[in-house]
Chain A
Amino acid sequence: MPLSREDVLHVAYLARLGLTEEEVELFREQLSRVLDHFQQLQQLDTAAIPPTAQVTVLSNVFDEDVPRPSMDVEDVLLNAPRREENYFRVPAVLEG
């Protein structure tokens, strides 16, 4: 079941991933082959098998609700590509 060009562009859009024309074609071909390989899993009857998301026996790990200092603001902003005062600067998302 080969992917179409539109499939590739749709997935790239979902992932917010810009692709060149060459990458679209390359991934279309490569991902089609990998997905073909995945078809192998359909041979297994898993109707009665529960899914495993993680292998620890842990669930709902809680911490004591104790106040403690947060990371220093300068540390938080240390790697900010664009900074304005104590904020990360981003393009406007709302009109007007």
Chain B
Amino acid sequence: MAEELYRLTVARAAELLARREISSVELTRACLERILQVDNLVRSFVTVTPELAEEQAQEADRRIAAGEAGPLTGIPMALKDVICTRGVLTTCSSRMLENFVPPYDATVTRRLREAGAVLLGKTNMDEFAMGSSTENSAFFPTRNPWDLERVPGGSSGGSAAAVAADECLFALGSDTGGSIRQPAALCGIVGLKPTYGRVSRYGLVAFASSLDQIGPLTKDVTDCALVMQVIAGHDPADSTSANVPVPDYRAALTGDIRGLRVGVPKEYFVAGMQPEVEACVREAIAQLGRLGAEIEEISLPHTDYALATYYIIAPAEASSNLARYDGVKYGYSALDKDDLWEAYSATRQYGFGPEVKRRIMLGTYALSSGYYDAYYVKAQKVRTLIKQDFDQAFERVDVVATPTSPTVAFRLGEKTQDPLQMYLSDVCTLPINIAGIAGISIPCGFAGGLPVGLQLIGKPFDESTLLRVAYAYEQSTTFHRERPKLG
């Protein structure tokens, strides 16, 4: 085989599998071998599941031989360790869930299993998905495959690094304020946060329930469409899941964006942004223009308020969701104490790391008597204004184009002492979660050898248009084919 199998895209591997030129077992072993070779450097995985992968690959080969294969049958992939996998450790990179083995599969896990995808393992993340660098993992930080002294972004840093380092063909992550898109940008891959309600959250360990969404991290836009096709759709087990028909995403990949209207919000090009990042993003937008799109400047006037709004709403919801970790039913437990109150407090003191504690404190404060109206209700009202900004913008344009992150990957340790600086890393992505709409990050160049991401933002449930624009851009560039040199 001239091509190294682990470097394949999903689409290319599916072709080779369908033609029986390769088997899923060969492909899976190539990825497991790759993990052995490079994961001691990158550290994408919390858990690797070689036996399960081998078993699932054999089953996939049987399905392919029987002519029952779909586009993901036999494709090796990884899941962020916040997505429940029956019988496979799901830790959320937290001491609290260090030994937690879910008794059920998340809906996305089940859908991928039914589609014949092969689980290689579970990827590292910021603890309970709270963070922008994967340094908040209770176990170890993941490193950026482009520069091992730098972070991969977060919180889905393990998933992004695993895809960028060719340890798996695709991965799933979760995105509450940018946790798919920002690491995708920093690792030079494609990451999509679908519209809220598009993908079932059943079996996703909850962080902020009105903001969380699961989505794909892939090597290119075609693969993103293929994975979305399998994971999107209504699920009665998630009462916030939308009963909206799922279109044929691959059909959206026409390469034609002539006449499409692209809005560029002036508020997203702000002080603090690296000039090289801005240059790449401006050039990418100009390229959309050359491809026939109509570019116009727009305004999203409440953008400046999104960070504060997000860091009230998300911690408030988190403080409520994480109240379940009481040491009684699962997770770390200090219930050997005689006093129940002490036991709760000791369980949570040991089980949670500093950022999770910080957000529980912040959220509890914002919801507490005397501050509820001033913080929580105020933030919910500003949420309305931010959503209205997008509603109005989408009356004029089809998609909005912005940077994904104001900077390229930063150095490990650079922002860990200053929570606000870390929070600013998501300043371009979190308004999209607040509004509940869809956003995709795609590679749009390099600054100092490090990847830069272009974010495209779309109307609710219109992932097709995002994929169409992303694909047209990708086909006119070569950034998505660049891979880091490792090992």
Q: What size tier do the contact residues of chain A reach? A: 35 or more
CB-CB under 8 A from B380, the residues of chain A are: 51-53
CB-CB under 8 A from B348, the residues of chain A are: 15-18
CB-CB under 8 A from A91, the residues of chain B are: 335, 337-340, 343
Which residues of B (141-182) have their CB < 8 Å from a CB of A?
A: none
Task: Convert B296-331 into 0s and 1s, putting 1 for each residue whose CB lies closer than 8 angstroms to a CB of A.
Answer: 000000101101110110000001000100111111
B387→A55 contact, CB < 8 A: yes
CB-CB under 8 A from B210, the residues of chain A are: 53-55
CB-CB under 8 A from B333, the residues of chain A are: 81-82
Which residues of A (6-63) have their CB < 8 Å from a CB of B?
A: 7-8, 11-12, 14-20, 23, 26-27, 30-31, 33-35, 37-38, 40-42, 44, 46, 49-56, 58, 61, 63
CB-CB under 8 A from B382, the residues of chain A are: 41, 44, 46, 49
Main secondary structure of the interface of A (DSSP, over half): loop
Main secondary structure of the interface of B (DSSP, over half): helix
A55→B331 contact, CB < 8 A: no
Stretch at the interface among B113-121, B224-232, B358-366, B398-406: B358-366
A82 to B331: give the CA distance in the assembly, Å.
11
Task: Give the residue name and chain of the B residue nearest to A13 (CB).
Answer: B345
A11→B327 contact, CB < 8 A: no
CB-CB under 8 A from A20, the residues of chain B are: 349
B357→A49 contact, CB < 8 A: no
A51 to B308: give the CA distance in the assembly, Å.
15
Which residues of A (46-86) have their CB < 8 Å from a CB of B?
A: 46, 49-56, 58, 61, 63, 71-72, 75-76, 78-82
B420→A56 contact, CB < 8 A: no
Task: Give the residue name and chain of the B residue nearest to A61 (CB).
Answer: B239
A53 to B419: give the CA distance in the assembly, Å.
25
A19 to B356: give the CA distance in the assembly, Å.
12
CB-CB under 8 A from A7, the residues of chain B are: 365
Taking a contact as CB atoms closer than 8 A, the residue among A33, A51, A58 that contacts B384 in the complex is A51
A46→B385 contact, CB < 8 A: yes
Task: Give the residue name and chain of the B residue nearest to A14 (CB).
Answer: B364
A34→B354 contact, CB < 8 A: no
Which residues of B (350-402) have their CB < 8 Å from a CB of A?
A: 350, 352, 354, 357-358, 360-362, 364-365, 368, 374-375, 377-385, 387
Stretch at the interface among B27-35, B55-63, B98-106, B479-487: B98-106
A58 and B330 in contact, given A17-B357, A30-B358 (Cβ under 8 angstroms):
no
Task: Convert B424-468 into 0s and 1s, putting 1 for each residue whose CB lies closer than 8 angstroms to a CB of A.
Answer: 000000000001100000000000000000000000000000000
A44→B305 contact, CB < 8 A: yes
A44→B338 contact, CB < 8 A: no
Q: For the complex of A and B, list the 9 residue pairs with the smallest distance between their C-beta atoms, beginning with the closest.
A: A18-B349, A55-B436, A81-B333, A51-B380, A79-B330, A75-B103, A46-B381, A18-B345, A16-B344
- Jot down 9 A-B pairs with beta carbons below 8 A, ordered by A: A15-B319, A17-B352, A33-B420, A49-B382, A63-B236, A79-B103, A88-B328, A90-B328, A91-B337
B residues near A (Cβ < 8 Å) are: 99-101, 103-104, 196-197, 210, 236, 239-240, 242, 302, 304-305, 307-309, 311-312, 319, 323, 326-333, 335, 337-341, 343-346, 348-350, 352, 354, 357-358, 360-362, 364-365, 368, 374-375, 377-385, 387, 419-420, 435-436
**Contacts beyond the supplied A56-B240, A81-B332: 10 A-B pairs with Cβ under 8 Å:** A11-B364, A18-B345, A34-B311, A37-B420, A46-B378, A46-B382, A53-B210, A54-B240, A71-B104, A72-B103
